[in-house]
Amino acid sequence: MHPSEVLFQGNRQPLLLPACDHYAGSDKLMRKSIALQQELGPLFDITLDCEDGASAGNEEAHARLVAELIASDDNRFNRIGARVHDIGSPFFAQDVAIICAAAAKLAYLVLPKAHSVLEVLQAIALINTHAQAAGRKDLPVHVLIETHGALRDAHAIAALPQVQCLSFGIMDFVSAHYGAIPGNAMRTPGQFTHPLVVRAKLEIAAACHAHGKVPSHNVTTEIKDTAVVANDAQRAAAEFGYTRMWSIHPNQIKPVIKAFTPRLSEVNEASNILVEAEKAQWGPIAQNGRLHDRASYRYYWTVLQRARLAGLPLPETVNALLDANPHAPSLEAH
């Protein structure tokens, strides 16, 4: 049995995605983002935006541009997704039909402003109709949690097999309270202290981890001071259990990736523990005066997978373990 099968004992391993989800919604910014991904590698995802981040009035042409960019050779790693209009929009079905024509190279579709798990199921049914017609089965879906109903159904949405990620839309969520939550709760420090916002973040993270999915933290609107972005990302990871975060400016990408990347000391510790564990056939070991068994091995196994996803160099002995794992994250195009 492969180590991953020993550690997870037939259970589904937690899903891992690149730590940064970069949004771009104009022709210029979409192309610039793709060029940056070609330069840095698939260390971050790109979400081409047809909704709030795109201009209004040219929806069909914009969706066709998104599909063209996804299908192009410039999409070198197949790590580009798209956010479509919400299911209640007259442009939703049009977006899905046009963009799913490029489903073979599409990383995922993002559904905004869902009000219930039923709406998500309805949206997935339409997505599957078009994606399957293009030869793609079970196209991954990411769901924005930004309404009262979606937050109420967060666990049910996260449980859907095709849903990979729940992403918190803080600005729409705060706006949905019509002034009951102050505007400063959309940014630091209020976004980490206001009880209703904190509750929403924790519910989303808990729902994702209960079902092995990825919680994606909301955007930081500060685009000049990268220290603010880094601080927000660090708090999202360390205090709220998020493993992914939005970016809306190229300057935000590297600070987000760095904040969510395991520290080198932790990577070294995980490497040493798992190499010794393999020698012990995954039985208990003692290292530095501490006992480790399969309960802690699962944690360190995930640390190494996250490190690899962030592009950190790993010892050859560890790479050999991960390379043999069919569920391990890869930096290669899928």
Q: Which residue has the higher pLDDT, 99 or 311?
A: 99
Q: What is the dihedral of CA 177, 181, 183, 186, to 10 degrees?
A: -90
Task: Please spell the DSSP secondary structure of 19-32, one letter per residue.
Answer: SEEEEE-SHHHHHH
Whole-angstrom distance, CA of residue 284 vs CA of residue 297? 10
- Tell me the mean pLDDT in the region 79-90: 97
Q: DSSP letter string over 69-117?
A: HHHSTT--SS-EEEEPPPTTSTTHHHHHHHHGGGGGG---EEE-S--SH
CA separation for the pair 194, 233 (Å, rounded): 17
Domain segments of the chain: what residues?
Answer: 3-9+263-323, 20-260
Chain CA centroid to CA 217, Å: 9
- Print burial letters for 184-210: b (CB count within 10 Å at least 16), e (below 16): ebbbbebbbebeebbebbebbbbbbee
Among 33-37, 64-68, 269-273, 313-317, where is mean pLDDT lowest?
A: 313-317
Share above pLDDT 70 across residues of the chain, in percent, rounded to a whole number: 96
Q: What is the mean pLDDT of residues 64-81?
A: 98
Q: Which residue has the tokens 């972005």?
A: 229
What pLDDT is recorded for position 7? 87
CB atoms within 10 A of CB 287: 12
| Buried b or exposed e, range 31-66, using 16+ CB within 10 angstroms | eebbeebeeeebbbbbbbbbbbbbeeeebeebbebb
Beta-ladder partners of 168? 145
CATH topology of domain 20-260: TIM Barrel (3.20.20)
The predicted model scores a pTM of 0.92
Q: Can the peptide bond before residue 14 be classed as cis, meaning omega within 30 degrees of 0?
A: no
Q: What's the CA gap between 66 and 41, in Å, rounded?
A: 20
Calpha distance 266→91 (Å, rounded) = 46
Closest listed residue to residue 95, CA positions, set 106, 84, 103? 84
pLDDT confidence bin for 107, thresholds 50/70/90: very high
DSSP class of residue 219 equals P
Question: pLDDT tens digits, residue range 127-139?
Answer: 999 999 999 999 9
Given a cut of 60, is residue 329 above it in pLDDT?
Answer: no
Three-class SS state of 257: helix
Give the per-residue pLDDT at 11: 74
